[in-house]
Structure 1
Amino acid sequence: MPLNILGTALFEGTDKIPYFDAVVRAAPYVAATAAVKYWSRGPTNTWERKLHGKVYLVTGGTSGGMGTAVALEMARLGAQLIFLTRNIDEWSTEFVQDLRERTGNELLYMEQCDLGNLWEVRQFATRWLDNSPPRRLDGVLVMSGDMEPLGVPRFAPPVRKSSSDGLEMQIAVNFAGVFHLLDLLQPSFKAQPPDRDIRIIVTTCWTQVMGDVQVEDPLWQQQLYRSASKFCSSSKLQLGLTMMEYQRRLIADMQRVAEEKKNDRTGLNIKVVLVQPGTMRSNSLRRVLSNGSVLLLVVLYCVLLYPFLWLFTRSGNRGAQSVLYALNTPEFEEVNLKTTATKYVADCSVVKFARKEFEDAELQRKLYDNTRRDILALEKRMALKRNAKKPAKDKKEAEAKAKAKAKAKATPSSSK
């Protein structure tokens, strides 16, 4: 076909080619659109390594977007994945089974761990650590997140959604739950052999540049809820700052133990990486643009805005490229490290942090300590509430059993 068109243009002139003028007029616009789309889709990860035998904990892997794309590729490369999900139900079970069939990898499992519930996080971490010898763990990929509708001032103001612990939901899921999980899993990372390359990959969002840091109230328990976006961006910012301190503490603890035991462990085999995957057409973006309304989702997102979103934002698969880069690149192996600081990845390359707080080690230390302090205090308060409810629950169960027993005695037995 192209040769016929070219021959006609050379020997008979362009007038003989149907719609030639229309094609010429449209060509610049098509080329410009293609160029913008090529730019907005972001780079492609070019690194790949075998993951056979490696074990990873994954959050956000069942989202159907970026997390699922990453999990699919990791399963294809042979990794053993443990998905942490809010609920284990028929849908999630079928999801894992489908992933096994698509990749031929049977080492895909699921554990219940709601990041919005600090007690469930502790229960999972306790189960994971309660094993001798220590279980193998090659890394954690945190790709979960919550972004609440922004609301419309005067018409539909933002509604504060709370977790089971009473925290604002975005602070609970994006910050407190992730921090608590990784903080509790420190012994598991430290117990791994020194030659094992361990990567803790935490996804963040560019909106963190608009966040605030509450050093004395890191869980935002005393802050008024005026803007959903402020809580979301601040949760991402505070998580990133605490991860900087988390990396330093892991290295310092490993080196202190090495001095005591007189070995050469440096702790640099454990690397914390923050990944900014870019703006994607994700569930969170749909929820924000539609303000939680099905009607707005159909009209505004699917009809009016989708052409522009397709052009300027990424799919989940394209957003996954930076996460896969952080997982596979040899730059983060101990022999290739140039600095010990937490790395920040965007567009499949290491970049600098935009906020000055990422250079303030003292602020990060205080934020880490205060977050751990407030989470422990909150856990104690919630435990007291559960214990207070337990006698009433036991009493109701005992009364129900007594009634059932009395009813059984009152019922005449059938004659033989």
Structure 2
Amino acid sequence: MPLASLSHYLSLDSPTAGLYTLAKWGSLAALILAIRTWSRGFVCREERQLAGKTYLLVGGFSSTGLSVFSSLAARGAQIIALHPTPLSPSVVQLLLLLRSSSENERLYAEECDLTSVKSIRDFVLRWKKDAREGMVGDLEARLDGIVFCDGEGAGAPSSLAIGAEQAWALDTGDERFSEYRLSRLTGRHALVQLLMPILLRSAATSTSPLRLINTVSPYYSAIAPGSFRPADLDYLAPDAPPFPRSQPWLAEGQVALASVLLWRELQRRVSTAASASAAAPSSSADAPSKLSDLPLPSTPLLALSVCPGLTRASLRAHIAPSLAAPLRLFVFIACYPLIWLFAKSADEAAQGVLGALLGDVEGSSADKGSSEGKEARGPGGEKVAREGGAKGKKADGEDTTGRMRVRRGALYREGKEVRIPALDSVDSSVGAELWDNETKLVERLLLAAAEQDKKEKDAAATAPTERRKDV
């Protein structure tokens, strides 16, 4: 029927005019298809199974995070998805649907709000106490990686809205901090630091480095070289610029650059501590909590930053269309064809995250062409081919063309490592200073949380006495 209709339409004009019309519209369709294919970007082709692996997934109920969640679940991994609020019936229902569709019962959700260091601390304490899946003897439950996805959960924005006021975290004591900054920078730092003893113990028995995947906004590229200052993240500071309400992507870009810098510093410190530990291994039988006191295997953690690219969810959050704002709604509807054409869907944005989580690691003996008989190992412990072997082939003959190979501390976009001019002009001491400042901030917030707990306990203890007096 479609062919008959097409023949009838073309027969209305001369053969030459009909062919010209067909070529014109065919070329337009081919151009749209080509642009859409290009906009999809990197596609993860790794087929590794993750049975027996355990991952924490932050933002697992956001758009991109849900795609990562579904893919890891289908590969057999145990996943603990962190949600910023108490689990609602809709989140529980979604979790049950994921279990059913992936045939994986080892999918869980826990409350943990990255804008609240108290919530992070409470989650870590619960994990140390209750997470006993797969434990041996008196050992703590292990982790094989943490994935941070933008958008903490259902209803949480993935980007800052144009013209909106800055949102502030509610339980930071006497200090005020941006909710966006806490969720993308300080909260991630706090979670990794509080889980560090567990991560390092897990790394000691792992066949490959534990991966800490940090997703960042693509607006890091909007920051001009020489204009990045971590001190500008605090918009309440006397010498800091005002919050850019009309250009929120600049605020996102500053946080993204600070996050990449913090992750680089994390990798540098872990690698330095691992080298020192290998040179002088500790014989202590205790379980110390400080990084410098823990016996570290060689390069136990792999800290990576990943930019998923420009997503439809982030653009929708920027414009914030609603019936209460007719102009924003009209702009969104008018621009939607371009958004659909050039921006990524959630599944497409998740491909870069999966590639960083599953890709082979550069700098192994296989990459150096060693002939000592040692084989490079992937995240699942399987052997991977040496670089000197057949090009584009694994040890089992599988094609590896176009797959990611990751390097410690690097930023990846569309499956490739990218250089950031804005960070190239930053002094090397800035990363260490940012790390120290974030660590001190976390310590202050933990003290504030402890004081709040003490006040609540005192109030609960005095409440029965006051009631007896009233009687």
Same fold (TM over 0.5): yes
Distance in 1 (CA, whole Å) between partners of 2:234 and 2:196 is 21
Distance in 2 (CA, whole Å) between partners of 1:194 and 1:265 is 12
Structure 1 residue 368 corresponds to structure 2 residue 435: yes
- TM-aligned CA deviation for residue 29 of structure 1: 1.9
| Structure 1 pair 285–182 and aligned structure 2 pair: CA distance change class (3 A) | same
Distance in 2 (CA, whole Å) between partners of 1:169 and 1:135 is 31
Once the two structures are superposed, the pairs formed by residues 389-408 of structure 1 within 5 Å of their partners are 391-392=458-459, 394-396=461-463, 399=466
1:168 maps to: 178
Instruction: Return 74-83 or 339-348, whichever deviates more.
Output: 339-348
Alignment check: 8 A CA contact 2:233 2:254 kept = no
Secondary structure of the residue aligned to 2:213 is strand
Structure 1 residue 306 corresponds to structure 2 residue 336: yes
Structure 1 residue 326 corresponds to structure 2 residue 324: no
Secondary structure of the residue aligned to 2:55 is strand
Once the two structures are superposed, the pairs formed by residues 115-194 of structure 1 within 5 Å of their partners are 115-129=114-128, 132-145=138-151, 146-151=158-163, 158-164=164-170, 165=172, 166-192=176-202, 193-194=205-206
Distance in 2 (CA, whole Å) between partners of 1:108 and 1:29 is 45
1:412 maps to: none
Alignment check: 8 A CA contact 1:57 1:83 kept = yes
Alignment check: 8 A CA contact 1:218 1:370 kept = no
| Structure 1 pair 210–21 and aligned structure 2 pair: CA distance change class (3 A) | closer
| Pick aligned residue for 2:411 from 331, 344, 349 | 344
- TM-aligned CA deviation for residue 213 of structure 1: 4.6
Letter in 1 for 2:255: S
Distance in 2 (CA, whole Å) between partners of 1:262 and 1:387 is 37
Distance in 2 (CA, whole Å) between partners of 1:243 and 1:363 is 13
Letter in 1 for 2:259: L
| Per-residue Cα deviation, 1:130-163 (whole angstroms, up to 9, x for no partner) | 5741321110000034422120xxxxxx312111
Structure 1 residue 247 corresponds to structure 2 residue 267: yes
Structure 1 residue 226 corresponds to structure 2 residue 243: yes
Letter in 2 for 1:178: R
Alignment check: 8 A CA contact 1:268 1:340 kept = no
Letter in 2 for 1:187: P
Letter in 1 for 2:162: L
| Structure 1 pair 370–81 and aligned structure 2 pair: CA distance change class (3 A) | same
Distance in 2 (CA, whole Å) between partners of 1:117 and 1:109 is 21
More helix per residue: 1 or 2? Answer: 1
2:219 maps to: 207
Structure 1 residue 280 corresponds to structure 2 residue 300: no
Distance in 2 (CA, whole Å) between partners of 1:249 and 1:18 is 69
Distance in 2 (CA, whole Å) between partners of 1:401 and 1:18 is 96
| Per-residue Cα deviation, 1:328-381 (whole angstroms, up to 9, x for no partner) | 111358445679641221112233333234874321111101111122123324
Secondary structure of the residue aligned to 2:340 is helix
Secondary structure of the residue aligned to 2:361 is helix
Secondary structure of the residue aligned to 2:330 is helix
Alignment check: 8 A CA contact 2:56 2:147 kept = yes
1:33 maps to: 32
- TM-aligned CA deviation for residue 255 of structure 1: 2.6
Distance in 1 (CA, whole Å) between partners of 2:298 and 2:256 is 26
TM-score, with structure 1 as normaliser: 0.83
- TM-aligned CA deviation for residue 75 of structure 1: 0.4
2:69 maps to: 71
| Pick aligned residue for 1:260 from 252, 277, 280 | 280
Instruction: Return 391-400 or 239-248, whichever deviates more.
Output: 391-400
| Per-residue Cα deviation, 1:47-105 (whole angstroms, up to 9, x for no partner) | 22110000000011111x21111111110010000001112121111111110011000
2:286 maps to: none
- TM-aligned CA deviation for residue 185 of structure 1: 1.8
Structure 1 residue 57 corresponds to structure 2 residue 124: no
Percent of residue pairs bearing the same amino acid type: 24
Please tell me the root mean square deviation across aligned C-alpha atoms, in Å: 3.4
Distance in 1 (CA, whole Å) between partners of 2:410 and 2:346 is 22
- TM-aligned CA deviation for residue 41 of structure 1: 1.6
Bigger Rg, structure 1 or 2: 1
| Structure 1 pair 178–219 and aligned structure 2 pair: CA distance change class (3 A) | farther
Alignment check: 8 A CA contact 2:304 2:408 kept = no
